[in-house]
Structure 1
Amino acid sequence: MSVPRTLVATDLDRTMIYSAAALALPGPDEAAPTLICTEVYQGVPLSFSTATAVAALQQVHRSAVLVPVTTRTDAQYRRVRFPGIAPAFAVTSNGGSIVVDGAPDAGWAAAVRRRLAETSAPLAEVVAEVDRRAGDWVLKRRTAEDLFCYLVAEPSTVPDGFVADWDAWCRERGWWVSVQGRKIYAIPLALTKERALAEVAARAGTDRTLAAGDGALDAGFLTMADAAMRPPHGELHQLGWTAAGVSMADVPGVLAGEQIARWFAAEVDAARPAVVGVG
C-alpha cells in the first residue's frame, strides 16, 4: 500500500513567524522560550520563531513538501529564512507567484496576469480610488508586484465604516478587502493562495495537505486542506471564523506558531509506515 505524500502549507506572518510586538509571550521573562531570528530587515532582527518550532519544521521538511504560503512579495519572502530549511516551492504575492527552487515561475505569473485582466478592474483604477478615499491617518500606501495594493495605518485611527465601504466598492469591480494588523489590502478576487497551492500540489505529486494561517486571505487554502489549524488571534479569529477540519491552537502569539509546527510534525510522522523489526 502506498503512503500518502503530504504537502504542508503554512502562512508566515503571525502564523509561523512573529515580530517582537506580536510575540504575546505569557509569564515572566525568565520563562520565555528560546527564540530564533527568522528575518532581518535593514540590518535589524525583525521576525522570530521559537527554537522548538524551527526544529519541528526541520523535521517536516525532511519528510514532506513544506510550502510557505504568503501575501509577501518575492523580495519580502526572500528575507525569511528558517535554519536548515530550503523549500522547493513557495507561494508568494497571495498566489501571484510560485517560487520554484528560489526563482519565480514566469509561466505561472503570466497566466495569473491574463486571468486578472479578464476578471477584475485594473490596479491603477483601484489605486486612484483608494488615494481619493484615504486621509492623513494613512502611514504608507504600497503596491505589490503590480498585482494588488495596501495601506498601512494604526487600526485605532482608521475611520469607522472605511473598510466596509471600501470593500463594497472593490467587490463591484472584482476585488475585495482584507485587514491584517496594520495593513488594509485590496486584492483581486481571482488572485488566491489556494489556486497557486493546488498547482504546487499537482507539480509535487502530493495527495494530502495540511495547512495553517491566521487571515481571511488564508481561509481558502485552509478549507481545501485535509486538515488545518489556525491561531487564536488574527483576522480569522476576530471574524469568529470556523470550518470543518480546521482546529485552533490553544495559545496566541509565537507559542501558537510552535504548537502548529509541532502539530504538522506529528501529523506527518503519523502518516509514515511503521517499521516492523524482524527477530
Structure 2
Amino acid sequence: MSGVLVATDLDRTLIYSLAAAGAPRPGERPWVVVERLEGRAVSHVTELAAARYAALARRHCVVPVTTRTPAQLARVQLPGPPARWAVAANGGVVLVDGGPDPSWTARVREALGGVAGLEEAAAELARACTDAPDARRHEVPGLFCYAVVDRPALPEHRLAQLRAWASGAGWGVSLQGRKLYVVPSLLTKSAAVAEVAGRAGAEVVLAAGDSLLDTDLLERATLAVRPGHGELADAGWTRPHVTALTTRGIAAGEEILAWFADRAAAGVAGAPGTGVAPGAG
C-alpha cells in the first residue's frame, strides 16, 4: 500500500439508487448491484466504476466513509478486496475489519457529552415533521437521528425552525434526497478519517463527497472532489483544493474514481489543501 488514503462517501457519490442514478446512457451495459435489501437491488455502480474501484482498492488504502449505521454499511458489497477500515455513523464509529473500535467509541461518547442530548434532538426532528405525517423517524443510539420524508410535504418554515434550534444546540441539519439528518456538529467524518490516517501511516488523504455532512471531510483533505449534484453542488460550494465536477448521477462515480486513481498515482504530497492530520479532530 502507498502513503495515500482514499476516504470516500458512498451514497450519491460512488453508489446510487435507481432514483439517484439518472437515465442509463445509450448502449450502456446493466449496472452492477452492490447492495440488496430484502432481496431487492437498492444500490448500483456502473461496470466501469466497479472495475476502477477494485483496481484502486488493490493499490491504495480505500476507506468507505458514510452516515449509514454499521448495519446499513454491511449491506454494501463493493468490488475488490475488503476495506481494512471504514467510517460509519458520520464518524461516530470507526470499523476495523468490520468491527467497531472500542477506543474510538469511548472518545466519541465523551465528546458528545458537551452538546444537547439525542432525546432533545429527536423531539425537534419530530416537530419538524409535524406536517409530514408519513415521515419515518429513526435514531442511531447515542449518536444522531434522521427522518425519511416526502420532501414536498416538509414545509420550509419547519426546516428553518429545526436549523435554528440546531445552530444553538451544537447540532447540524442536512437534507439529502429524502433523508433529513440531525447530527451533532462534533460528530465529523474528518475526525474519524484523521484517526484512520494516523493508524494507516498515510501522509496524503484524498476525499470525495456530495452533501453538507461531507464538507468537513473535503475541507481537511489534501485534495478532494465532489460530483455535479447534491447539496454542495446546489450551493455552489468549492475550495481551491476541491475539484468540482459537472457530471451528475451514476456517471459521476466513474469520474470520481478516475480522479482518485490519477491523483494517487501521481503522488500528491505537498499539494494544496489543509490536509487531514493524523490524530486530528
Is this a same-fold pair by TM over 0.5?
yes
Q: Which structure has more RCO (C-alpha within 8 Å, separation ≥ 6)?
A: 1
Cα distance in 2 between the residues matched to 1:223 and 1:132: 32
Alignment partner, residue 96 of structure 1? 92
Cα distance in 2 between the residues matched to 1:242 and 1:271: 22
1:216-235 correspondence runs (5 A): 216-235=212-231
Q: CA deviation at 1:22?
A: 1.0
Counterpart code for 1:193: K
Counterpart code for 2:198: A
Please tell me whether the aligned partners of residues 60 and 265 of structure 1 are also in contact (alpha carbons under 8 angstroms): yes
Alignment partner, residue 80 of structure 2? 84
Alignment partner, residue 16 of structure 1? 14
Please tell me whether the aligned partners of residues 93 and 145 of structure 1 are also in contact (alpha carbons under 8 angstroms): no
Counterpart code for 1:183: K
Moved over 3 A (4+): none
Cα distance in 2 between the residues matched to 1:59 and 1:186: 35
- What is the SS of the residue equivalent to 1:18? coil
Please tell me whether the aligned partners of residues 2 and 61 of structure 2 are also in contact (alpha carbons under 8 angstroms): no
Alignment partner, residue 276 of structure 1? none
Counterpart code for 1:121: A
Alignment partner, residue 277 of structure 2? none
Alignment partner, residue 135 of structure 1? 130
Percent of aligned pairs with the same amino acid: 44
Alignment partner, residue 54 of structure 1? 50
Q: CA deviation at 1:230?
A: 0.4
Alignment partner, residue 110 of structure 1? 106
Cα distance in 2 between the residues matched to 1:126 and 1:224: 27
Alignment partner, residue 184 of structure 2? 188
Q: Compute the TM-score of the two structures, normalised by the length of structure 2.
A: 0.91
Which ranges of structure 1 fall in alignment gaps of 5 or more residues?
Answer: 273-279
1:59-70 correspondence runs (5 A): 59-70=55-66
Counterpart code for 1:126: A
Cα distance in 1 between the residues matched to 2:19 and 2:92: 28
Alignment partner, residue 271 of structure 2? none
Cα distance in 2 between the residues matched to 1:97 and 1:74: 8
Cα distance in 2 between the residues matched to 1:133 and 1:14: 25
Residue 69 (structure 2) aligned to one of 70, 73, 85: 73
Alignment partner, residue 246 of structure 2? 250
Q: Compute the TM-score of the two structures, normalised by the length of structure 1.
A: 0.91
Q: 1:44 to 1:165 in 2, by over 3 A?
A: same
Q: Count how many residue pairs are aligned between Structure 1 and Structure 2.
A: 267
Which ranges of structure 2 fall in alignment gaps of 5 or more residues?
Answer: 269-281
Please tell me whether the aligned partners of residues 213 and 222 of structure 1 are also in contact (alpha carbons under 8 angstroms): yes
Counterpart code for 1:226: T
- What is the SS of the residue equivalent to 2:182? strand
CA deviations 1:230-258 (Å, max 9, x no partner) are: 01101111111111211122310000011
